[in-house]
Amino acid sequence: MSSCAALPGDTCSPHLLPPGHNWPLRRQEAALEAESVVGSTEASVLPGWRSWRQRTQVGAGGGCNSPRHLRGQFLFIMGSPRVPARTVLFRRERTGLTYRVPALLCIPPRPTLLAFAEQRQSPDDAHAHRLVLRRGALAAGGVRWGALRVLATAALEEHRSMNPCPVTDAGSGTVFLFFIAVLGHTPEAVQIATGRNAARLCCVTSHDAGLTWGGARDLTEETLGAQAQDWATFAVGPGHGIQLPSGRLLVPAYTYRVDRRECFGKICRTSPHSFAIYSDDQGRTWHCGGLVPNLRSGECQLAAVGGSFLYCNARSPLGSRVQSLSADEGTSFLPAELVPTLAETARGCQGSIVGFPAPTPSREEEPNPPHLCPGVQDPLSGPFCHPQPWENSQEQPGPEPGLGGDGEAYTPMLPLPSVAPAQSPTWLLYSHPVGHRARLRMGIYLSRSPLDPHSWTEPWVIYEGPSGYSDLATLGSGPGAALAFACLFESGVRASYEDISFCMFSLREVLENVSGGPEMLHRSGKPWEHCRPS
């Protein structure tokens, strides 16, 4: 059995085995027999893959291409982009119970992953109920996920808990989970239209990496003060917060500010503005920063870039994303500008950003690096390279609906090839649906010069189906290994709120799959090859 073998009630995403290591027969046979679970739906939405049923028509003669060997596998077609395997962590239940608005936090040094979501009675925000969590242990490139847990303390009486936004203090190890508690079933749209705020700013803390949580703190008056009287509503995140090198903790937030009231105050004119909530004393007290002053900006995330700037990337109704910089660590923001290369969907959608150190061009690389398809450790015998049967199982439900999947995720710990000299000490990744008219196709974008709004690449589509909100996390890297990332995102077959899925990928994969990425060369000067059928 794998060292990542799941316990009862757990979901296991096995680690990347070294080249030449054959997957244990018992686990492989179990995966082969899971025909009803292995992603027939995946084959219908990913254009670069074919289901085993299609291939059995040409491989029925036996041998390595027979149905017995191809069953449950997906063939990598020449020229198709690689797609990370995904694990379904939260799934809509038959009763209508729905999971939305993911947030992901990676806690070093182990590391531990915390995957949060809203649990709703229906997809509507007025039917949000409470927050839930799954903890994951990362080791050797794989994740073992624990069962779903309800965060009972993250609540106020007669309020519904929404918008999870976690951040951790590296010095104390404390995890702060911010959220808003909204009175009754008042939708955000009603608050915006009437100018009557029903939201409270709340936080719960954990000192043991999410195993236990303290009671909820209502920080509304203490943090927001009198200025909240001019807000129609507000919210945090959603997604992760960050900590700056100075120790300052930052939580992204946005508000709909009341600009004018009409008809005796019954109708109000509002505008959305992003801002940051911050703490300089390891979370003992929190303060409200200034609003992004000009362009309409909503749900947002933050990253430290350029050594002295805080970068804010926000949702906007203006047709593309909005970015703004802060020169004082989020206390105030400079006027925002549009990011024309990051188009919004028709009604806009939340997106996630994460910053990471730009790779150095002198990094050592293996003389003969492996060429892998998604999740493949060693090509099987035969004239083509294809994934192991357990690797591309998109939809593998757990023992009960909504309690997660039994699918597999992977992080290929590959050497990082040489790249062009960095234009910035920090690069950014961004996740957002690619579709312009609807929330479709989750994309990963890269910027090597975050201060330039035109620096973003074309996306690498990591999921072809309906997609929505997402959150990115940096997983770090081991000795001689490429930097790895994780993405927790809303997904589905017919609608984006059917599942919340988790996947992992390396920086090398990003560089190889985004349009406009640097040419991948190894020491011979020849381009790095992709895994293709011969």
Active site residue 256: no
- Worst-scoring range by mean pLDDT, 29-33, 93-97, 234-238, 362-366? 29-33
Q: How many domains does the chain have?
A: 1
Catalytic residue among 278, 430, 469, 497: 469
Q: What percent of the chain has pLDDT over 90?
A: 59
171 assigned to some structural domain: yes
In this predicted structure, the answer to whether residue 218 has a pLDDT above a threshold of 60 is: yes
Q: Which residues of 443-482 are buried (b: 16+ CB within 10 A; e: fewer)?
A: bbbbbbbbeebebbbebbbbbbbbbbbbbbbbbebeeebb
Question: What does the block give as tokens for 63?
Answer: 């041998």
C-alpha–C-alpha distance, residues 231 and 458, integer Å: 36
pLDDT at 347: 87
Where is average pLDDT lowest: 76-80, 155-159, 361-365?
76-80
166: containing domain = 151-299
Catalytic residue check, 125: yes
pLDDT of residue 380: 26
Residue 66 has what pLDDT?
35
Q: Closest by alpha carbon to 86, among 447, 440, 512, 404?
A: 404
Question: What CATH number should be reported for the domain holding residue 272?
Answer: 2.120.10.10
What is the C-alpha to C-alpha distance for residues 49 and 262, in angstroms, rounded to an integer? Answer: 56
What's the confidence (pLDDT) of residue 361? 67
Q: Give the sheet arrangement for strand 217-218, strand by strand.
A: 159-168, 175-183, 199-206, 217-218
* Residue 46 falls inside a structural domain: no
Nearest 10 degrees: Cα torsion 290, 293, 297, 299? 0
- Evaluate whether residue 75 is within a structural domain: no
What's the pLDDT at 60?
33
Residue 192 identity: I
- Average pLDDT for the chain: 76
The answer to whether 124 is a known catalytic residue is yes
pLDDT of res. 480: 55
Q: What is the mean pLDDT of residues 464-483?
A: 84
Per-residue pLDDT tens for 403-446? 333 333 333 333 333 333 345 589 999 999 998 888 999 999 99
Predicted pLDDT of residue 354:
98
Residue 17 has pLDDT above 90, yes or no: no
**Burial bucket for residue 440 (CB in 10 Å: 0-12, 13-18, 19+):** buried
Task: Report the pLDDT value the prediction gives residue 360, as an integer from 0 to 100.
Answer: 77
- Options 344, 406, 490, 509, the catalytic residue: 490
Tell me phi and psi for residue 307, to 5 degrees. Answer: 85, -30
Beta-carbon contacts of 8 under 8 Å, excluding residues fewer than 6 positions away, are: none
Q: For the chain, give percent helix, strand, coil, nearest 5.
A: 10, 35, 50
pLDDT tier for residue 515 given thresholds of 50, 70 and 90: confident
- C-beta of residue 408 within 8 angstroms of C-beta of residue 143: no
Candidates 295, 251, 258; CA nearest to 273 is: 295
| In the predicted structure, residue 394 carries a pLDDT above the cut 90 | no
pLDDT reading at 344 higher than 50: yes
Catalytic residue among 124, 221, 222, 281: 124
pLDDT at 166 over 70: yes
Q: How confident is the model at residue 54 (pLDDT cuts 50, 70, 90)?
A: very low
Closest CA to 49 of 390, 387, 529: 387
The reply to whether 459 falls in a domain is no
Catalytic residue among 118, 125, 299, 464: 125
Answer whether 0.85 is exceeded by the pTM.
Answer: no
In this prediction, residue 346 carries a pLDDT of 85
Q: What integer is the mean pLDDT of 373-390?
A: 29
Of 107, 177, 39, 161, which Cα lies nearest the Cα of 501? Answer: 39
In a domain, 265, yes or no: yes
Average pLDDT over residues 321-326: 97
Closest CA to 412 of 355, 463, 477, 459: 477
Whether the per-residue pLDDT at 272 is higher than 90: the answer is: yes
Please compute the mean of the pLDDT values over residues 175-190 and round it to a whole number: 96
More confident residue, 44 or 1: 1
Q: What is the pLDDT of residue 516?
A: 60
The helix (H) or strand (E) run that includes residue 70 is helix 67-70
